[in-house]
Amino acid sequence: MNRQTLRSALPDAFRKLDPRHVWRSPVIFVVWVGSVLTTVLAILHPSTFTIAVALWLWATVLFANVAEAVAEGRGKAQAASLRATRTGTTARRLAKDGGEDIVAGADLRIGDTVVVEAGEVIPGDGEVIEGVASVDESAVTGESAPVIRESGGDRSAVTGGTTVLSDRIVVRITTRPGESFIDRMIALVEGAERQRTPNEIALTILLTTLTIVFLVTVMALQPFAGYSGKEQSVVVLVALLVCLIPTTIGALLSAIGIAGMDRLVQHNVLAMSGRAVEAAGDVSTLLLDKTGTITLGNRRASQLLPLPGTTEIELGRAAYIASLADPTPEGRSIVDLAVSQHGPEALGGVPELSTTDAELVEFSAQTRMSGIDLPSGISLRKGAGSAIVAWVGGTGGQVPAGTTELVDGIAADGATPLVVAEQRPGRPAAVLGVVRLKDIVKPGIAERFATLRAMGIRTVMVTGDNRLTAQAIGREAGVDDVLAEATPEEKMRLIRTEQEGGRLVAMTGDGTNDAPALAQADVGVAMNSGTSAAKEAGNMVDLDSDPTKLIDIVGIGKQLLITRGALTTFSVANDVAKYFAIIPAMFVGVFPGLSALNIMRLASPDSAILSAVIFNALIIIALIPLALKGVRYIPSGAEALLRRNILVYGLGGIVTPFVGIKLIDLFVSHLPGLS
């Protein structure tokens, strides 16, 4: 928290002194009432002690407001940037007669279709129903790299305020004005729609109960004090009450919640509710999609395996030529593998490498193979084993012995076999060999899963692959379990089984078929690039569409819970030291034996009480950076976390006030009227 941030938060902090705002926090409201009462007494019966206590009680309320204002203020710059993306946007709405109407983006309704071409801003959230285009989403995600959005798949969703960079798309609007993701983000980062979570409400009830208990205790203290001949002033009783109630956590509770949501926004994750953030911290089972999450997203060629009668360079040249015009990541990886193993000179010695007059054979789900027909009459094919065997057999060719065993062996190892065949003019087709395609597990993913395991979180890889392939990849990645050949129904069944055991489940998804499971999961993270059904079903949306971010979301949730617990422990532990400062000071004149409790050797009763009040206010300001940044989360078991929490924040909460109050007393004891 720098000086500029604090300066910008002060006006909001003063505005929040309004009792209509303060009463939302019962603990701070009690301090506010005490501030009003001591202010009246300071006016009627002015003294250095009374005026100082009144001022520092107001400072306590103000510092609590500063904590909340700073947390809210962190999102204002981002909100202003997001608002700029929707200012003055116009839309080319398609009319029923096929024409176009130019309307304001705010006038669009659900179901309207609009045309967006290169250089134009998408006027509202929707789905691409026609065309494919490159889209700049940096206004929302902050990432400069463009993304592809196209109709008919799980990458059809577009966000209002983003810019089309190429081509032309037709978008069907799916949200009402004022309810777009940008509008939701603005409300989120400003804290306008932040609702208290169940844990936060429960903690507020606990703090309120403690406040009532201490209020009754302090009220009951005065009759005993009067009976002992040492009746206490109202100012002293108010100071005692404020120092004993958990003002520190009461002041920081709202800021901790807002900061936790803000950390998600900084990771480009839009949480629909604070409940989801807290649930992420308690998750015990993670369902992770294989492609793009555990693996790099596309299979890569890793090995060329020629059959008897074919050399490796012949297989490499055939696979190279057949893949030159293949735009898929798998095709490009075959080209890269052949070049890296044999060099471009050996592969480039074939005259027919130029595909200018060649006929390309694109892959289709029906044929399950692709290839090229060269001008010289040579035909090359690569694809699934059964499809290539059928193609070879259709030309009268024979499949070499050992082909089936080689293909089955590669599949059993968890890789994908891609069979390569060649047909020359006047000859039947012949199988040359097999290219091994391998799912590349992301670097470091096994270590991340090991970390999750240490946190007590079970990881399950969900994939449509067959069980052999899924288990091989699962072993390499280090997941705890695998759900192979997964269907939407099986995902739902797995989630419900986990939840019946009392576990919280998190999962990611982007397709319409993921929507039921996302809705069932306790933490459902939908990809922003996915369908509207997925985004509506989930309770979080990842604007970067990065499935691995689910692991980071769990960490943020745990950090939120740990921060709240740590500062609560620190706040309650603070009261022990303040007790030793105030109680002896109040009654040492009547019971001299209480001087033994004055272990800090404070100068006088008034300076002791004022020092405790000042420390009570200053500690709030000192802890604001920790509340905003969050307590550092070290992945470990619950027992280790509890031990660390007690040692660092419990013991620290006891020791710190003793040191702080003593240092403050050394200063205030020299003030006139406090000696």
Binding residues for Mg(2+): 510, 514
Q: Which residues are catalytic?
A: 289
| Residue 247 DSSP label | H
d(CA 608, CA 586): 9
Length of the chain: 675
The closest of 310, 308, 376, 304 to 341, measured between CA atoms, is: 304
Instruction: Give the DSSP letter string of 352-420.
Output: GG--TT-EEE---TTT-EEEEE-TTS-EEEEE-HHHHHHHHHHTT--PPTTHHHHHHHHHHTT-EEEEE
How far, CA to CA in Å, does 489 sit from each of 354, 485, 497, 504, 533?
48, 11, 12, 19, 16
Residue type, 395: T
Angle (CA) 578-584-589 rounded to 5° is 150
CA-to-CA distance for 159 and 528, rounded, in angstroms? 8
What is the spatial distance between Cα 324 and Cα 319, in angstroms, rounded to a whole number? Answer: 9
Q: Are the C-beta atoms of residues 317 and 382 closer than 8 Å to each other?
A: no
Taking alpha carbons only, the member of 22, 29, 39, 567 closest to residue 260 is 567
The backbone torsions φ and ψ at residue 54, rounded to the nearest 5 degrees and listed phi first, read -60, -45
Smallest CA-to-CA distance from 57 within 652, 627, 632, 618 is with 618
H helix or E strand, kind and range, residue 255 = helix 247-266
Residues 306 and 314 sit within 8 Å (Cβ to Cβ) = yes
User: Which stretches within 424-548 are classed as H helix?
Assistant: 445-454, 467-477, 488-500, 515-520, 532-537
Token digits of residue 241: 């009450």
Strand partners, 542: 269, 527
Q: In what order do the strands lie in the sheet with 505-509?
A: 269-271, 540-542, 523-527, 505-509, 285-289, 458-462, 481-483
Cβ neighbours, 10 Å, residue 82:
20
CA distance linking residue 289 with residue 287, whole number of Å: 7
Residue with token string 């019962």: 26
